[in-house]
Structure 1
Amino acid sequence: MKTKLKLLRAEHNLTQADLAKILGTNQKAVSSWETGSAAPRPPMMQKIEDYFGIPKEEIFFTAFNYSK
């Protein structure tokens, strides 16, 4: 499961630790979301959507792509 999260974070010049602090989580969680080894829970996806201003379905496309 790949996400656009890493790209968005880099575009905003944020480290994983920076983003984790903004979202109220830890760097390990952000790393696992970026690598696709885990997906954030829906409330956290909403926080990420609100922060970046991009629909969570676009950021976490494969988490919502149930057709495959």
Structure 2
Amino acid sequence: MRRYYKNMLRELRRNKGISQSELANLMDVNQRTISTWEIGRSIPKPYQMRFLAEFYKTPIEQIFFEAFNYKNELKLSI
């Protein structure tokens, strides 16, 4: 089974030991924004992706590759 970015974001945040609210404060966004990323309703903007990758010390591709790959597969199947 694939691990989509939403699962990765939740796992990275929990491993870092911070709440959605704490992360939201660091990123100057609403806690609800973090929640929508973690449940897969939206994807962070490119500058937010870069922040998350740097904050978690994880390559951006490792976090978001599945999201990009999934969208490319949808385009190819149409």
After superposition, what is the alpha-carbon deviation per residue over 1:21-57, rounded to whole angstroms, capped at 9, x for unaligned? 1111111110010111100010110010111111122
Q: Which has the larger radius of gyration?
A: 2
Unaligned runs of 5+ residues in structure 2 are none
RMSD (Å) for aligned C-alpha atoms? 1.6
> Whose helix fraction is larger, Structure 1's or Structure 2's?
2
Q: Number of aligned pairs?
A: 68
Unaligned runs of 5+ residues in structure 1 are none
Select the residue among 35, 42, 48 that pairs with 2:46.
42
Identity rate of aligned residues, in percent? 34
Alignment-derived partner of residue 67 in structure 1: 73
Structure 2 length-normalised TM: 0.77
